[in-house]
Each structure stands twice: as C-alpha cells, then as structure tokens.
Amino acid sequence: MVQTYSMHELSIASSIVETVTESAAAYPGARVKEVRLRVGALASVVEDSLQFCWELAREGSPLAGSKLVINILPVIVHCDACGRDSELTGVQSFRCLHCGEIAADLRQGRELEIESIELEDPEPAKDEPENVKEQA
C-alpha cells in the first residue's frame, strides 16, 4: 500500500508545528508530548493523511516524537423553521432532523484549531531515585 498525502494536509501540519513551536518557545528545552486538534467534519482534512504529514512536519522541531490527537467534530446545523440544532451523520443532506426543513445555518463543522498542547515534564534531576518504576 502506498501512503499518499496532499499538499493540503502537509501545509496544515506544517502550520500547526510552527504555531506549537512558537508557543513552546516560552519553555526553553521543553519537548512537546501531545497536540490535540479540533477538526470539523467539513474541514476537508483526511485524518490518516494529516497523521502521516505530521510525522514529516514535526521532524527537527521540538515536536519530534509528539503525538497528534485529532478530535473530529460532527456537523451541526441550526434550523430556522423549528429553532433546533441537528447533528448530521452525513454531509450530503443539510436537513433538520426534527422537522425535515433545509437547515443551512452551519453551527459546527469547519473548525480547524489547536485544542491543547501538552509539554513533557522537564528532565528529572540526576540524583532522583530511578527505582520508582519498580513499584507494581
């Protein structure tokens, strides 16, 4: 199987790495452990592809070895006819699940944002006991 990726995901991954690198600069020597993203189902991001591009983009940065957690947000539309929100399972039909009217007022689904950044704890001091992990 050949892993493919598009410039789209690569540029997204690079831009996230850049943003996180800037944020982490406030903590000299810190390494990034995990980055969590909120991605709307309509954001045109292929999760596998973004994960693959992440591995390319993070090399040589404080994010090398970090994990990318992608939280896909469902599409939510608001219906003007009945005033209720619907969580759409597919994006083929923008219809209210409650009354069947066309609901085009998009409330969620296009997000592409960093939810949180987790930094690795600083290196433990050298005189710290190393046998703590032996506790069962």
Q: Which residues contact 80 (CB under 8 A, 6 or more apart)?
A: 101, 103, 105
Binder of Zn ion out of 32, 88, 96, 117 (CB under 5 A): 96
Q: For residue 133, which amino acid is it?
A: K
Q: Any contact of residue 77 with Zn ion (CB under 5 A)?
A: no
Of 55 and 101, the one with the shorter C-beta distance to Zn ion is: 101
Distance CA 58, CA 34 (A): 12
Which of 64/102 has CB closer to Zn ion? 102
Q: How far is the CB of 41 from Zn ion (least distance, A)?
A: 20
Reduce the DSSP state of residue 25 to 3 states and report it: coil
Q: Which residues contact 42 (CB under 8 A, 6 or more apart)?
A: 75, 91, 106, 109, 110
Residue where the block lists tokens 């957690």: 69
DSSP 95: B
Using the contact rule CB under 5 A, the part of the chain among 17-25, 44-52, 81-89, 106-114 near Zn ion is 81-89
Regarding 82 and contact with Zn ion (CB under 5 A), the answer is: yes
Instruction: Quickly tell me which residue has 């993070």 as its tokens.
Output: 58
| The binder of Zn ion chosen from 34, 67, 98, 106 (CB under 5 A) | 98
* Listed ranges 2-10, 44-52, 89-97, 105-113: which one lies at the site for Zn ion (CB under 5 A): 89-97
Which of 64, 69, 99, 114 lies at the binding interface for Zn ion (CB under 5 A)? Answer: 99
Which residues would be at the binding site for Zn ion (CB under 5 A)?
79, 81-82, 96, 98-99, 101
